[in-house]
Amino acid sequence: MYGLKIIVACESPMSPLRLLIPLLMTAGLLIAGNGLAGTLVALRGVEEGMSASLIGLIGAGYYAGFIAGCWMAPQLLRAAGHIRAFAAIAAVAACASLALVLVIDPVTWFVLRLMSGLCMAVLFANVESWINASVGNETRARSLTIYRFVDLGAVTASQYMLPLFGVDGFAIFAAMTMLMMLSIVPVSLADRSNPAPPAPFAFSPRRLWQLSPVAVAGSVAVGLTGASFRSIGPLYAAGLGMDVRSVATFMSAGIIGGIVLQYPLGHLSDRVDRRYVILLSTLGAALSGLFMAFAAGGNTGLNLIGIFLFGAFALPLYSLSCAHANDRAAPGEFVLIAAGMLFFWAVGASIGPLFSSIMIDWYGPAALFRFTTAIHLALALYTLFRLRSRAPSGKPARRRWAALLRTSPVFARMAAAGGADEAGHRSSRDKTKAEGDKAAQKR
């Protein structure tokens, strides 16, 4: 009787998604801790008397470490396996986070954030390759959607731990460390699988530039502006006199805004030349930045509206740029593009916080969005130039757009597999329908 129940449960169509629950819990805890860290470092740095440019340099260190971690991940997972590698690296990341409050020093913070970036890149590659190996073709698209919403919910919710614990004591760092340490528990106790490690992430910057200069420029621009928002946005809000709760709401509004137009713009780009949609999104981000820099002033309500619109237009640019590069790619180049786009994004992300923070030191908080506006206007002009100098992709069937996270090339590979599965199912349905119509005509 009990054996029969077990067999039925295993054959349930929902069981593949149930098996993901430990991994999604792990991802949520990890993402929450990491999302909290970016905002906390900026606000605590202000409390400790650090200049904006120093905080920007510390923020840039995280992304520099992230670049290294992306290429270390496959080798580490191959050597140690998923569970042991995750436990070890999560422990190092947690220690690096807790050490921030033990040693209040800009140079030490830079090194610690560099370590955190490296660790997070490995951890994200670990979890995402684990999820990819745990789902089948029939549930991959749903799994990706759930994972995206876990990411959004975890980052947004973690911001409100700031007003709950405050930024000027030990408690908030302890809470952040606990989130990272707790992320080890679900995969250690509830999942005994040990999937194959991801393949190395090889790419050619020159080949990617040849495929699509607009995609490369878009990826760098997203790195410059997105990382500036995540690392320096708290300084902007605090500089306007917002309290910690308002800063948390400000950051959450930008993050939530990033998903509102993600799917409408993506589906529109499947129907027209993607460069027009990239141009539309870029101009929307530039106009939102202008509003923030020159119209919002110190009004909290206007700033929340402005940052929501900024996120809505600016954050989809990465997925749109990746989709545009894939339109021109040869079969088998998707992983090359995923790794290359992530690399160019990380290069921009390791520069953006430093430049935008220096501008805040020189010209005040509004300079953050003058910086992002300048980047977006430059991208818009370059996109216009490419529209006039290069014809649209001549491929009869382009790869469909997919909303991507900038966590590891594994996620892009999952999206590629999901898109291929969907295309295969759609092609099979069309073929079956055509054969049925043909048989009906014969009858």
pLDDT, residue 282, reads 97
Contacts with 256 (C-beta within 8 Å, 6 or more apart), sequence order: 152, 156, 308, 311
Do 207 and 179 fall within a single domain?
no
Q: How confident is the model at residue 320 (pLDDT cuts 50, 70, 90)?
A: confident
Torsion from C-alpha of 324, 330, 331, 332, nearest 10 degrees? -90
Percent of the chain topping pLDDT 90: 49
Do 257 and 382 fall within a single domain?
yes
Instruction: Give the tens place of pLDDT for each residue, 26-52.
Output: 989 999 999 999 999 999 999 999 999
pLDDT mean over 236-255: 94
In a domain, 10, yes or no: no
Indicate if the pLDDT at residue 165 is higher than 50.
Answer: yes
Tokens of 23: 């991994």
Question: In which residue are the tokens 């920007």 written?
Answer: 56
Instruction: Give the tens place of pLDDT for each residue, 61-71.
Output: 999 999 888 77
CATH code assigned at 242: 1.20.1250.20
* Alpha carbons 73 and 197: distance in angstroms, whole number: 9
Higher confidence at residue 429 or residue 103? Answer: 103
Do 173 and 215 fall within a single domain?
no
* Alpha carbons 122 and 106: distance in angstroms, whole number: 24
pLDDT, residue 190, reads 67
* Alpha carbons 399 and 142: distance in angstroms, whole number: 18
pLDDT mean over 164-178: 94
Residue 380 buriedness (CB in 10 A; 0-12 / 13-18 / 19+): buried
Looking at 147, 166, 191, the residue that finishes a domain is 191
In a domain, 174, yes or no: yes
Do 363 and 397 fall within a single domain?
yes
* Alpha carbons 224 and 356: distance in angstroms, whole number: 9
In a domain, 430, yes or no: no
Question: In which residue are the tokens 């995402």 written?
Answer: 128
In a domain, 362, yes or no: yes
How many domains is the chain built from? 2
Domain with 29 in it: 19-191
pLDDT, residue 145, reads 66
Do 280 and 261 fall within a single domain?
yes
* Alpha carbons 63 and 343: distance in angstroms, whole number: 10
Indicate if the pLDDT at residue 227 is higher than 80.
Answer: yes
In a domain, 267, yes or no: yes
In a domain, 115, yes or no: yes
Do 52 and 161 fall within a single domain?
yes
Do 300 and 178 fall within a single domain?
no
pLDDT mean over 294-314: 95
Average pLDDT taken over every residue of the chain: 82
What is the chain's percent helix, strand, coil content, to nearest 5?
80, 0, 20
Instruction: Give the tens place of pLDDT for each residue, 390-419.
Output: 666 555 445 555 555 555 555 555 555 555
Which range, 131-145, 312-326, 381-395, has the best average confidence (pLDDT)?
312-326
* Alpha carbons 175 and 155: distance in angstroms, whole number: 14
Indicate if the pLDDT at residue 357 is higher than 90.
Answer: yes
Q: How confident is the model at residue 335 (pLDDT cuts 50, 70, 90)?
A: low
Do 183 and 206 fall within a single domain?
no
Do 260 and 370 fall within a single domain?
yes
Do 44 and 172 fall within a single domain?
yes
Do 167 and 230 fall within a single domain?
no
Indicate if the pLDDT at residue 16 is higher than 80.
Answer: no
Alpha helices, H only, 261-366: 262-269, 274-294, 300-314, 317-327, 334-363
In a domain, 11, yes or no: no
In a domain, 43, yes or no: yes
Do 159 and 227 fall within a single domain?
no
Indicate if the pLDDT at residue 129 is higher than 60.
Answer: yes
Looking at 158, 191, 224, the residue that finishes a domain is 191
Looking at 191, 212, 245, the residue that finishes a domain is 191
